[in-house]
């Protein structure tokens, strides 16, 4: 690390060594081998080169002892933590924090619109009325069906009247009479057929009439037995099911009437209205758009070179084009994990308090995101750093003398280097010297901060 203190002493020593060396060469030429002589000649050559280099460092001439005692003029600088660029600036558009597109549940004609753009609404407020004339007709029909089903159930629960039982009994008796008559006819026809008096067709017709009469009697008896015993329970269950179905149809019709009244799904502000009374609405375009304006959101698109510096919770200073000179503080609340496939940029959402009614969705603004300034290492010019065996050090000034100080280096910054260890911020460091800079050399500051 130390340099040679006196070039004059070097010159004298080199001269003595040269003379002594040549004497030894002549002595060994008579006693030693030629390779030993060559080794001595090499050492002499190295000493001569050292002398030449020393003279070159001093402008081609050796300094006098008086000059060597003078303070060395130096330039210094302070090791300061730089004021880093702590912001990222991007433009974007202000948007509602939430947007709801409102469609009527049933497409149709609009009867009445009860809101205008900019109107604040609460959850449940009526926004639209749809034409409900057809719906009212359906409700009337469904109500009539319920009434009829209910009457049928009441009849089933009361059970068959005596007149009905008497009628069923009379039907059974008639069926028995008809079966008896059909049997007699069949027996006569059977004898006539045996005597070959009637045709086969007439005989088969008589037999069919007998079988039909038997079937009618069986059916009449079943109806009578059902009316007397278990049939009423089955009828009641069927009537109840029919009433339930009718009531469901009425409920659905009444729900359709409710669907004709379009209400606000949540609190917000009407930010768009595209319909007038008498117009038809469907699923192509929402007649109303509801937005939440407190808070508002500013969406910016951040490039891949900066997205690693952005994270949730960072503060953002926002300037809105429509409000020049005013600055609003926001907060980063969402950073997209992947880039947009079309633009290659990362959407970042910033929350803005929505208490100022002058700020509206659609306004353009610039956001300056305050990023982490980093570890804050001091920076020095590269020329202030010296090396010994690849170990970096700098010269400090202590008691007007140059004092070496070992340091550790960090990243380069356009001609400057971070000092990550060994140097306190504000330390005065020698950057240039008008002569040889050595440890303990007295120095005089000619320029510095």
Confidence of residue 21 (pLDDT cuts 50, 70, 90): low
Taking residues 132-147, report their average pLDDT: 87
The CATH code of the domain at 288-370 is: 2.40.30.170
Q: What is the pLDDT of residue 5?
A: 45
Q: What is the pLDDT of residue 51?
A: 42
CA–CA distances in Å: residue 294 to residues 36, 107, 269, 363: 94, 31, 10, 15
The shares of helix, strand and coil residues in the chain, as percent rounded to the nearest 5, are 40, 30, 30
Picking from 18, 19, 84, the residue whose alpha carbon sits closest to that of residue 45 is 18
Confidence of residue 159 (pLDDT cuts 50, 70, 90): low
DSSP, collapsed to helix, strand or coil, labels residue 45 as helix
Taking residues 266-295, report their average pLDDT: 90
Q: What is the pLDDT of residue 10?
A: 61
Strand 288-302 and strand 346-352: the pairing is antiparallel
Cβ proximity of 316 and 332 under 8 Å:
yes
**Domains 70-82+376-447 and 288-370 agree in fold:** no
CA distance 300 to 93: 7
Highest mean pLDDT among 1-15, 45-59, 157-171, 403-417: 403-417
Taking residues 373-386, report their average pLDDT: 81
Picking from 408, 295, 421, 297, the residue whose alpha carbon sits closest to that of residue 348 is 297
Strand 443-447 and strand 72-78: the pairing is parallel
| pLDDT for 424 beyond 90 | no
Which H or E run includes 99?
A: strand 87-102
| Cα 256-262-263 angle, rounded to 5 deg | 125
Picking from 10, 295, 289, 265, the residue whose alpha carbon sits closest to that of residue 124 is 265
Q: What is the pLDDT of residue 448?
A: 72
Q: Is the dihedral of CA 239, 241, 244, 249 positive or negative?
A: negative
Strand 126-130 and strand 268-273: the pairing is unpaired
DSSP state of 307: G
Cα torsion for 46, 48, 49, 55, to the nearest 10°? 150
CA distance 39 to 45: 10
Picking from 220, 202, 210, the residue whose alpha carbon sits closest to that of residue 180 is 210
DSSP state of 325: T
CA–CA distances in Å: residue 104 to residues 257, 278, 295: 12, 14, 27
Q: What is the pLDDT of residue 338?
A: 93
The chain-wide mean pLDDT, for the chain, equals 81
Taking residues 351-373, report their average pLDDT: 84
Q: How many CB atoms lie within 10 A of CB 69?
A: 9
Q: Which of 34-38, 80-84, 317-321, 412-416 has the lowest mean pLDDT?
A: 34-38
Domain ranges for the chain? 7-68, 70-82+376-447, 137-255, 288-370
Q: What is the pLDDT of residue 436?
A: 87
CA–CA distances in Å: residue 356 to residues 92, 295, 296: 19, 10, 10
Backbone angles phi, psi at 366, to 5 degrees: -110, 130
pLDDT above 90 covers a percentage of the chain that reads 30
Cβ proximity of 208 and 184 under 8 Å:
no
Taking residues 144-168, report their average pLDDT: 77
Cβ proximity of 298 and 352 under 8 Å:
yes
The CATH code of the domain at 70-82+376-447 is: 2.40.420.20
| Per-residue tokens: 200 | 């086969």
Output the pTM of the full model.
0.44
User: Which one is predicted more confidently, 17 or 240?
Assistant: 240
Taking phi over 0 as left and psi of -120 to 50 as alpha, with beta for the rest, 390 belongs to: left
Bridge partners of residue 444, in order along the sequence:
73
Confidence of residue 362 (pLDDT cuts 50, 70, 90): confident
26-77 pLDDT, tens digit each: 544 555 445 544 554 555 455 445 444 444 444 444 445 555 568 999 999 8
Confidence of residue 430 (pLDDT cuts 50, 70, 90): very high
Q: What is the pLDDT of residue 82?
A: 66
Please provide the DSSP assignment of 284-302 as one string.
Answer: SS-SEEEEEEEEEEEEEEE
Q: Which of 3-17, 94-108, 143-157, 163-177 has the lowest mean pLDDT?
A: 3-17
CA–CA distances in Å: residue 348 to residues 267, 296, 301, 439: 25, 14, 6, 55
Angle between helices 7-29 and 34-57 (to 10 degrees): 170
């Amino acid at each position: 690390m130390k340099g040679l203190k006196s070039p004059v002493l070097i010159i004298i020593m080199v001269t003595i060594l040269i003379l002594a060396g040549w004497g030894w060469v002549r002595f060994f030429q008579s006693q030693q081998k030629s390779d030993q002589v060559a080794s001595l000649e090499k050492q002499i050559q190295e000493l001569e080169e050292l002398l030449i280099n020393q003279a070159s460092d001093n402008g081609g001439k050796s300094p006098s002892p008086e000059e060597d005692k003078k303070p060395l003029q130096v330039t210094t600088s302070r090791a300061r933590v730089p004021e880093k660029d702590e912001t990222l600036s991007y433009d974007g558009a202000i948007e509602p924090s939430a947007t709801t597109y409102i469609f009527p549940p049933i497409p149709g004609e609009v009867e009445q619109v009860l809101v205008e753009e900019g109107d604040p609404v609460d959850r449940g407020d009526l926004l639209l009325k749809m034409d409900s004339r057809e719906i009212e007709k359906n409700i009337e029909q469904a109500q009539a069906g319920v009434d009829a089903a209910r009457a049928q159930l009441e009849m089933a629960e009361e059970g068959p009247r005596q007149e009905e039982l008497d009628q069923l009994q009379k039907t059974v008796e008639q069926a028995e009479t008809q079966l008896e008559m059909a049997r007699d006819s069949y027996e006569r026809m059977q004898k006539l057929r045996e005597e070959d008096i009637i045709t086969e067709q007439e005989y088969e017709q008589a037999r069919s009439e007998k079988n039909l009469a038997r079937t009618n009697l069986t059916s009449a008896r079943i109806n009578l037995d059902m009316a007397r015993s278990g049939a009423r329970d089955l009828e009641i269950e069927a009537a109840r099911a029919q009433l339930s179905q009718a009531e469901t149809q009425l409920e659905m019709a009444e729900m359709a009437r409710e669907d004709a009244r379009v209400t606000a799904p949540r609190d917000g502000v009407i930010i768009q209205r595209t319909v007038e009374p008498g117009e038809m609405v469907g699923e192509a375009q929402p007649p109303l758009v509801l937005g939440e304006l407190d808070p508002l959101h500013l969406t910016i698109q951040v490039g891949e070179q900066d997205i690693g510096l952005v994270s949730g919770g960072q503060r953002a200073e926002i300037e809105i084009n429509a409000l020049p000179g005013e600055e609003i503080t926001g907060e980063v609340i969402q950073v997209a994990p992947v880039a947009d496939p079309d633009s290659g940029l990362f959407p970042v959402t910033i929350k803005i308090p929505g208490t100022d009614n002058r700020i509206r969705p659609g306004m353009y603004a610039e956001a300056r995101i305050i990023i982490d300034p980093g570890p804050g290492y001091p920076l020095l010019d590269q020329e202030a750093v010296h090396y010994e065996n690849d170990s970096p050090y700098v010269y400090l000034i202590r008691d007007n003398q140059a004092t070496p100080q070992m340091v550790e280096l960090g990243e380069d910054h356009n001609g400057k280097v971070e000092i990550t260890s060994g140097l306190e911020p504000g330390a005065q460091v020698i950057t240039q010297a008008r002569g040889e800079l050595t440890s303990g050399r007295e120095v005089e500051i000619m320029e510095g901060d």
